[in-house]
Amino acid sequence: MTLNLKRTKKAIEAHDAAHAWYDANHAGLSFGDCWKALNALDKAGEAVGEAFAKDTADRNASDTAKRTRPDPWLRGLVARYA
């Protein structure tokens, strides 16, 4: 069976969009809003792990795959298999 990482790709794109928004706007945020934005970024990272776990359920342990975050290794896999 061929690896298909389409869900992971979408989750990484959402994570990258949230990160770009934070990078562009964090200087003008209050402490509370900055905290909320950082929590949203953390949730977006968790969503990447969840998507990767679903995409690789037939070959990876779910608890291990869910810990995956958007890093160069995962981005390389997505570029190759999404």
List pLDDT tens digits, range 40-67: 999 999 999 999 999 999 998 999 999 9
- Examine residue 52 and state whether it is found in any structural domain, yes or no: yes
According to the model, what pLDDT value does residue 2 have? 83
* Other C-beta atoms lying within 10 Å of the C-beta of residue 3: 13
- What percentage of the chain's residues is helix, strand, coil (to nearest 5)? 75, 0, 25
pLDDT surpasses 90 at 74 = yes
Q: pLDDT of 1-47, one tens digit each?
A: 689 999 999 999 999 999 999 999 999 999 999 999 999 999 999 99
- Examine residue 47 and state whether it is found in any structural domain, yes or no: yes
Helices (H) and strands (E) in the chain, counts: 4, 0
- Domain coverage including residue 47: 6-81
Q: How many domains does the chain have?
A: 1
Spatial neighbors of 10 by CB under 8 A, at least 6 apart, are: 51
Quick one: which of 55, 65, 70 has its CA closest to 13?
A: 70
According to the model, what pLDDT value does residue 1 have? 67
Angle formed at CA 57 by CA 43 and CA 71, multiple of 5 degrees: 45
- Examine residue 55 and state whether it is found in any structural domain, yes or no: yes
- Examine residue 1 and state whether it is found in any structural domain, yes or no: no
Give the predicted TM-score (pTM) of the model.
Answer: 0.90
